[in-house]
Each structure stands twice: as structure tokens, then as C-alpha cells.
Amino acid sequence: MQSFFSRVPEELLRHVLFSYFTIQDFSVLDRAIPPAKELRSNFLSALKGSCVLNDFEYFDESVATWSLNRQINFSSLLLNPSAEVNFFFDFASCQSGTLERIDFQRHLSVSDIALVLMTLHLFPCLKYINFDGCVSVTDSGLSTLLEQCPSLKKLTLCDCTNITDLSLEKLSQSSSCNFIASLNINGCWYVTDAGVINVIETCPHLTFLDVSFCSNITDKALLKIAECCTELAHLALQECTKITIDGLAGLTITGKLLQLSDLNLSYCGGCVTDIIIARLSDSHSNLHALNLSNCSEVTDSSLFGISLHCHQLHVLSLFNCSEISDIGVIALTENCLYLEWLDLFNCSQITDASLKALSDHCKNLTHLNVSSCKLVTDKGLLHLSTGSGRDSLTYLNLSYCNVTSSGVHRLTEGCKNIKTLNLFKCKYVQDAGLQALFA
């Protein structure tokens, strides 16, 4: 065994350990290995500086003590919602020199007091902090913490409803502003144009920006984004209801946002029109993902523009775009051959013809939602089961469609890789037919 460990490359040993063992297993495994000098040296070398804690609810004080005694440093810590938050912060502080990622997602006990305690230590390597859903975090605690994280690249504040422009001002003034590449303030209701503009003017390397549900964001911020964010690849504006056609038109200016590949305009109301989509498609032909959910003004004309210019499109959501018909979908499939994910929920004009076009041209399609498309029948399922993409399809939502047990059976015979099939309220699919699928 000793010679085996000495021959195993360190990277392979790390991969095996951290793919199949929890942190609690490590302390047991350590005690179980004979204290042969070379063997222990190789084993502990694989642990030092590379352990990733993914299951904090099983991480107790005894394991923490073992980790510290073995001088094992962590690069990533995930705080399970059931974990004791004070114990977590004490341990994180001991790892301040090596931590690159801390994830507090949905932990309601994370507050300013805990963050202030963390600021007693410098986190020189910390690159990613996730405060998703930490509603007790305010500007005071976050601003103090940001001063101790000079290498920060990614900050997630999703649904931190007590965060305001003050935090973004502090971020823009921090030593990490030149490194920040990703900022998610989805659901930070009190953030305004002023806060967003502060960040984008001082963070030149921003590639990801999510301001969804920030109801105070207007055209002013949007125009500044188009002007300053030369490296921006992902922009999410979901339900930014104060944005108008003028703001979106700013995104279409030639030479601006050349790296943009993922754009979310869902629930932005009547400002998302065919004219805007035509201009966006023309100016951003490298789009890979486009979300137009609940954009009621979008018609087949938009799909013609997308098909004409956006040949690299992989993801498209037309959720509840009731003006879309087979004409638009057929046009889309003629040029968007790399489409993998398509949502046509409640596009009530969609028929089996759209499914035929998708099956003929989009061989990479893995996810298709035609829920509430009541003109979809067994004929459409036959097209899917015999088309070029039948082996790629893994998710299909047929809820409220007029398909039968026979059609579903034929579908599953042809599309053998489907993992999720939604048949909710398919009134012609009987229990006996479903039982036949698993016979």
C-alpha cells in the first residue's frame, strides 16, 4: 500500500478523495491509515490546501479540531442552512488565508454582527461570496467585509432586500473593484440607477450583471451599461418595469456590448417589441441565450430577425408569448441549428408543424416545453420520436396538451433518453397507458 500511494499522482489522489468522501470521512480515514511515514506524508499532502467543504451539517467541532491539527486548509466553504452560524464564522476566520469561496446561500442567521466578526481577519484570496437570500445582511455589515476582500471577483446579493446603493458605492471604492467580474443584485429593491452606475463606471472587467426585480432601475442605468461595460457577456433585466424602448434601444448601438451572449428581458412589459428584437438580433449576432418570457408584444417577426442573425443561439424562452405561431418557429429552426433549450409555454397557436420543424432541424434539442399548447397532438410526438434530435431530448413538458397514451408510448420508444416527461392534465393519457411505459 505504501508503494501504491507514492506512485499515485497528487492530482488524481485529490480527485478520488474529494469526489467520494465527506469531510467527516477524512478524519476517520486518517486514523485508519497505518502511520508509515511516506504513506501519511502522501495522504496528508493530498488534503492540504485543497479540501472543499460541501456538507456542513455533518461538520462538527471535533472535525474542525482535527482539520486544524492536521493543518488542512480550505479553499471553499458552504454553509448549510441548518448549521450553527457562529461556529462556521469562527472556523472560516481560521482559514482566512486560503479561502477563495464562501457560500451563505439562504442562511437567515447570517447578519451584520457575524460579518463584522469576520472583518477581524483579512481574506486575501477570497474571490467569491454568495449571500443569496441572506435578508439580515445590510449595507453596514457588507461594506465592512468588502474592505477585507481585496481579490473579490464575484458577489451574489440575490434577494438581499436590505442592500441599497450604499453597498454598491463601497464596492466601487474598494480595492477589488478592478477585479469584480460578476455582480448579482437580483431582488435588491432599494438599489437605484445611482448604485448601478457607481459600479459599472469603476469595475471595467464586469462580465455578469443581474439587476432583475430592481424596480428602480431605469433607462439611465441601461444607457450607462451600454457605454461602459465593454466586457459584459450576461445581462439580466427581468421585471425591470421602468425600462422603456429608449433604454433598450441603447443596447443596440453598433459597437456596444460586443461580448453580450446572454440577455434576459423577461417580464419587461411592452417595451420589448419586434423592432427592438430585430435591432438586438442585428447588433448582437453572437447571442447564445435570450429570455423573452411574458413579452406580449413579441410576434413571429421577432423570430424572423433572430433566425436571420443569431445562428449561435442555444437557449430561447418564449414563455407565454401568445402571438408566436408555427410560422415563426419554423423560420427559427431553419438557421438556429444549435438550439438546445426552447420554452413555448402557452404559445397557443403552436401546432404539430412546429414540432416537425424542431425534429427536422434541431438535432441538439434537449429541453422542450410546449405546456398548454393545446393544438399539439400525437402527430407532433411522432415527429419528435423519429426526428434527428430524438436521441438528444431529455426533458419534455406536454401538460395540458391533447396527446394520448398511444402517442406517449410511441414517443418514449423513439426518444429513449427522456428523463423528465410532464403529462399533467393530459386528459387522454390514461393510467393503463402510463403503466405500459414501465412494463
Domain ranges of the chain: 1-55, 73-260, 351-439
Does residue 36 have a pLDDT over 60? Answer: no
Cell of 326: 408555427
Q: Which amino acid is at 59?
A: F
What does residue 124 show for φ and ψ, rounded to 5 degrees?
-70, -25
Give the per-residue SS3 of 71-99.
Answer: CCCEEEEECCCCCCHHHHHHHHHHCCCCC
Grid cell, residue 371, equals 405546456
Q: For residue 122, what pLDDT is reported?
A: 75
Of residues 27 and 51, which shows the higher confidence score?
27
Q: What are the tens digits of pLDDT across the range 151-199?
A: 999 999 999 999 999 999 999 999 999 999 999 999 999 999 999 999 9
Is the pLDDT at 56 greater than 50, yes or no? no
Q: Which of 219, 226, 257 is nearest to 240 (CA)?
A: 219
Higher pLDDT, 186 or 54: 186
Cα gap 105→151, rounded to integer Å:
21
pLDDT value at residue 102: 85
CA distances from 166 to 175, 200, 351, 390 (A): 16, 14, 51, 52
Task: Tell me the average pLDDT across 108-137.
Answer: 86
Coil/strand/helix, residue 186? coil
**Strand positions, DSSP E, 255-364:** 262-264, 289-291, 315-317, 341-343
Provide the pLDDT for residue 33. 56
Tell me: pLDDT of 32 over 80. Answer: no
Q: Please tell me which residue, 120 or 187, carries the higher pLDDT value.
A: 187
Closest CA to 274 of 255, 250, 292, 256: 292
Please enumerate in sequence order all residues whose Cβ is within 8 A of that of 15, keeping only pairs 6 or more positions apart, or say none: none
Q: Report the pLDDT averaged over residues 401-421.
A: 95
Q: Phi and psi (nearest 5°) for 251?
A: -70, -20
C-alpha cell of 240? Answer: 425591470
* Average pLDDT of the segment spanning 81-93: 69
- Residue 420: predicted pLDDT: 96
Q: What single-letter DSSP state applies at residue 270? A: G
Q: What CATH number is given for 73-260 in this structure? A: 3.80.10.10
Task: Encode pLDDT of 350-402 as tens digits.
Answer: 999 999 999 999 999 999 999 999 999 999 999 999 999 999 999 999 999 99
Task: Retrieve residue 60's grid coordinates.
Answer: 462538527
Is 351-439 a domain of CATH 3.80.10.10?
Answer: yes
Tell me how far apart the alpha carbons of residues 296 and 290 are, in angstroms, rounded to a whole number.
15
Q: What percent of the chain has pLDDT over 90?
A: 66
Confidence label for 81 from pLDDT (cuts 50, 70 and 90): low
b/e sequence 99-110, b meaning 16+ C-beta within 10 Å? bbbbbbbbbeeb
Q: Assess whether pLDDT exceeds 70 at residue 240.
A: yes
What is the reported pTM?
0.87
Confidence at residue 140, expressed as pLDDT on a 0 to 100 scale: 94
Q: Could you give the count of Cα atoms lying within 13 Å of 265 in the half-sphere of its Cβ? A: 28
The answer to whether 253 and 278 have CB atoms below 8 angstroms apart is no
Q: Is the pLDDT of residue 20 over 70?
A: no
Residue 432 DSSP SS3 = helix
pLDDT band at 52 (very low <50, low <70, confident <90, very high): very low
Point out which residues pair with 397 in neighbouring strands: 369, 422
The pLDDT mean for the chain works out to 86
Q: Are 179 and 205 in contact (CB under 8 A)?
A: yes
Same-fold call for 73-260 versus 351-439: yes
Average pLDDT score over residue span 341-352: 98
